């Protein structure tokens, strides 16, 4: 597992957006190299309307894991208060990057699963 810094995540997001703008063939090439990933964000973001579609799909698939905020020792700088829990979802890199893009800055982290 490799936790991406915010700078690395932004760079990966830029690569994804560039592939999406490059046409179907470019997107297909990028997406087929897509890796498994995990996205983390505070429990409070469950009410964020920007990710409602992702949350619905994840709930239908049983992918949402709620962990106590003590897990924050492993995932730093999410701008959480001490009472919030942590949401963890295993997905692919493309979806993790889209969720990262849609949440407020510093309220999510992406980890690439090797």
Full residue range of the structural domain in which residue 106 is found: 2-112
Q: Is residue 93 within 8 Å of 12, Cβ to Cβ?
A: yes
Q: Which two tokens stand for residue 58?
A: 């994840």
pLDDT at 101: 95
* 1-5, 6-10, 11-15: least confidently modelled range: 1-5
Q: Which residue has the higher pLDDT, 90 or 106?
A: 90
For range 37-60, the mean pLDDT: 93
* 7-11, 83-87, 102-106: least confidently modelled range: 83-87
Q: Which two tokens stand for residue 92?
A: 């692919």
Report the alpha-carbon distance of residue 70 to residue 42 in Å, rounded. Answer: 12
Q: How confident is the model at residue 76 (pLDDT cuts 50, 70, 90)?
A: low
79 class by beta-carbon count within 10 Å (0-12 exposed, 13-18 middle, 19+ buried):
exposed
- CA nearest 106: which of 37, 4, 6? 6
Report the alpha-carbon distance of residue 64 to residue 53 in Å, rounded. Answer: 13
Number of domains within the chain: 1
């Amino acid at each position: 597992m490799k936790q991406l810094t915010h700078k690395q995540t932004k760079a990966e997001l830029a690569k994804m957006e560039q592939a999406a703008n490059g046409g179907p063939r470019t997107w297909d090439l990028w997406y087929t190299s897509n890796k498994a990933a995990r996205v983390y964000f505070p429990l409070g973001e469950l009410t964020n309307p920007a990710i409602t579609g992702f949350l619905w799909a994840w709930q239908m698939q049983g992918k949402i894991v709620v962990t106590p905020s003590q897990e924050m020792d492993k995932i730093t700088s999410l701008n959480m208060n001490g009472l919030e829990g942590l949401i963890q979802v295993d997905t692919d890199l493309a979806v993790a990057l889209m969720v990262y893009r849609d949440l407020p800055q510093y309220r999510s982290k992406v980890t690439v699963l090797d």
